[in-house]
Structure 1
Amino acid sequence: MKTNFSSNLYLWLLVITLPLTVFSQSTDFTIQDVKFKSQGIILAGSILMPKNPIAAAVIVHGSDPVKREMEFAKRLAKEGIAVLTYDKRGVGESAGVYIGPSVGTNNIDTGNLNLLSDDASAAVNTFRTYLTDKKTPIGLVGFSQAGWIIPIAASKNPQIEFMVLFSCPTITTLEQLRFQFYTNGNTTFWENHSESDAREHIKNDPDRYQFTATDPKISLNTLLIPGLWLFGEKDIQIPVKLCIEQLNTLKALGNPFEYTLFSKLGHNTSSDNDREPVDISLQWIKQKALSIKNSKK
């Protein structure tokens, strides 16, 4: 009886300590469920693992209540980039509370952005343990709101070695809100307004929310990891030309940052409708990953 109990206990312990079961597999990559802890809660996601990954990336969400970004992750994985994508805090299988515009709350106060940056950092730490080659460069790839989250996470976690930011602001959170309230979702905004007009409102409009602004440039100033921003010139969520101007200032100070501007696109620069931004980001990640890996030899 004692022998059987010990044997059964061993098998039970083995099961709970092994990685979760692979639920999908293709000739390009495997997909595996993972769970990890961040600030006292459990977040749930998936790892997409090519056979010999060139690089690894954790996907950071925009402001919406987004589950894991599987379709976008597959585009990266098919190109040899390992990906960890997870359900946002309070969404899908992840615990915690979602705070954001979809439930009528302000989601870009300093406390929430720092909390979400902790989630991204915890995802990186977890992901690293799944990478066989410990020299594989790991970075963050994000959208929109991630423009504030990624710099904070990267400034906290030295394991983050590159960043790709789709339609992400370099201005403060309050400046972004002033611009967004002024454009008011008008898709023809730039047909009827000038850059100087928009900047005047960004500078002087009264704030509808009262909170301490987060300025991503504070973190970006300290970062020496390569970064790529992808902007759509017709964006009505963030003032792209102002963001680019601020990036150019950082570049002049020696920060290894780059950007690409797409004249016909708006805020959704990662859309399947135009593959060029994602294709450019893929080639950039591969190039930077090779450079980072060579520097570790």
Structure 2
Amino acid sequence: MNNTFFSNLLLWLSLLLLPEMACCQSNEVTIQDVTFESQGITLAGSIVKPKNPVAAVVIVHGSDPVKREMEFAKRLAKEGIAVLTYDKRGVGESGGVYVGPSVGTNNIDTTNLNLLASDANEAVKTFRTFLKNKKTPIGLVGFSQAGWIIPITASQNSQIEFMVLFSCPTITTLEQLRFQFYTNGDINFWETHTDADALEHTKNDPDKYQFVATDPKIYLNTLSIPGLWLFGEKDIQIPVKLCIDQLNTLKAQGKPFEYTLFSTLGHNTVFDRDTKPFDISIQWIKQKAFNIQKSKKSK
């Protein structure tokens, strides 16, 4: 049996022990549009909130020019989790300039990632002022590129108490690009390649871009908040096995990080028809929120 099996087993067992009181929620959901300032521009978003949230999350975008994730936010809110979701800078009603591959630019250089982390940081600060119960645990939930943004943000803001990362890298930005160029969007990539092939190219391929790499492990090493990563084994955007190896190293150092691996899924672990990743993330958030609340009451 491998580490992935034991990690998944422990995660499922812990969810089964989740106190019943954390699972009972009202279906009443309210939506409130908000704006906030970040690095000299105005970002626009919405707060989607159940009547008595057990936790609150800010959604952190992937690399695409994404507006606020309203449908995903509503799914979370119906499960008792309050959400702030906003239009990415330069998209929708948010000011600023979108930087990304769809407009022919590289958007994972250090400058842009730090800028997007500042946006998420200001979103958290704003959200806290709208939460009636100031002890409601607040965290970050993100996709793909958020694997670099969330650790940066969490290392800068002590209000952030947990994080959930769907298909998010734990490797450097340059390593991720090497792997992505190697797979070249081939959906059948894993039928003809091995993990050893992927590791070799990810570690040694020449770089097509020249910039200072961002390494999320630098920031993860500073964090003591719980984190959950959800991976699809068929991912062709990030080398999942290498990311898991690096998470296991952090776990061995005592970091409260967990992950689960889905053998049939690819990069889209959150919006796939298979709802298991979403379901696990919901129960995990409730469990961690309950633990955080309990810890606060004991102080």
Confirm or deny a common fold (TM above 0.5). Answer: yes
**Amino acid aligned to 2:110:** T
Report deviation, 1:274: 1.0
The equivalent of 1:261 in structure 2 is 261
Structure 1 segment 18-29 matched on structure 2, within 5 A:
28-29=28-29
Structure 1 segment 23-38 matched on structure 2, within 5 A:
28-38=28-38
Which 4+ stretches in 1 moved above 3 angstroms? none
Structure 1 segment 1-297 matched on structure 2, within 5 A:
28-297=28-297
Contact 2:232 2:269 in 1 (8 A): yes
The SS at the match of 1:259 is: strand
Distance in 2, matches of 1:128 and 1:79, equals 19
Distance in 2, matches of 1:137 and 1:271, equals 24
The SS at the match of 2:219 is: helix
Report deviation, 1:204: 1.2
Report deviation, 1:203: 1.3
Render the CA deviation track for 1:214-267: whole Å, top value 9, x for unaligned.
000000001000000000000000000000000000000000000000000000
Relative to structure 1, the CA distance from residue 162 to residue 27 in structure 2 (aligned partners, 3 Å threshold; closer, same or farther) is: closer
Structure number, greater radius of gyration: 1
Render the CA deviation track for 1:163-211: whole Å, top value 9, x for unaligned.
0000000000000000000000000000000111111111111111100
Distance in 2, matches of 1:206 and 1:173, equals 13
**Amino acid aligned to 1:125:** K
Distance in 1, matches of 2:102 and 2:223, equals 32
Unaligned runs of 5+ in 2: 1-25
Distance in 2, matches of 1:229 and 1:29, equals 27
Report deviation, 1:272: 4.2
The equivalent of 2:6 in structure 1 is none
Distance in 1, matches of 2:27 and 2:188, equals 44
Q: TM-score, normalised by structure 1?
A: 0.91
Distance in 2, matches of 1:79 and 1:62, equals 23
**Amino acid aligned to 2:62:** G
**Amino acid aligned to 1:174:** L
**Amino acid aligned to 2:107:** N
The SS at the match of 1:161 is: strand
Distance in 2, matches of 1:293 and 1:38, equals 29
**Amino acid aligned to 1:54:** V
Distance in 2, matches of 1:182 and 1:152, equals 27
Distance in 1, matches of 2:280 and 2:94, equals 31
Contact 2:76 2:82 in 1 (8 A): yes
Larger RCO: Structure 1 or Structure 2 (Cα < 8 Å, ≥ 6 residues apart)?
2
Distance in 2, matches of 1:194 and 1:80, equals 41
Relative to structure 1, the CA distance from residue 27 to residue 287 in structure 2 (aligned partners, 3 Å threshold; closer, same or farther) is: closer
Report deviation, 1:27: 5.1
Report deviation, 1:153: 0.1
The SS at the match of 1:134 is: coil
Distance in 2, matches of 1:248 and 1:75, equals 30
Contact 2:166 2:229 in 1 (8 A): yes
Report deviation, 1:49: 1.0
Distance in 1, matches of 2:281 and 2:110, equals 28
Distance in 2, matches of 1:57 and 1:27, equals 18
**Amino acid aligned to 2:290:** L
Render the CA deviation track for 1:110-164: whole Å, top value 9, x for unaligned.
0000000000000000000000100000000000000000000000000000000
The SS at the match of 2:111 is: helix
Report deviation, 1:28: 2.1
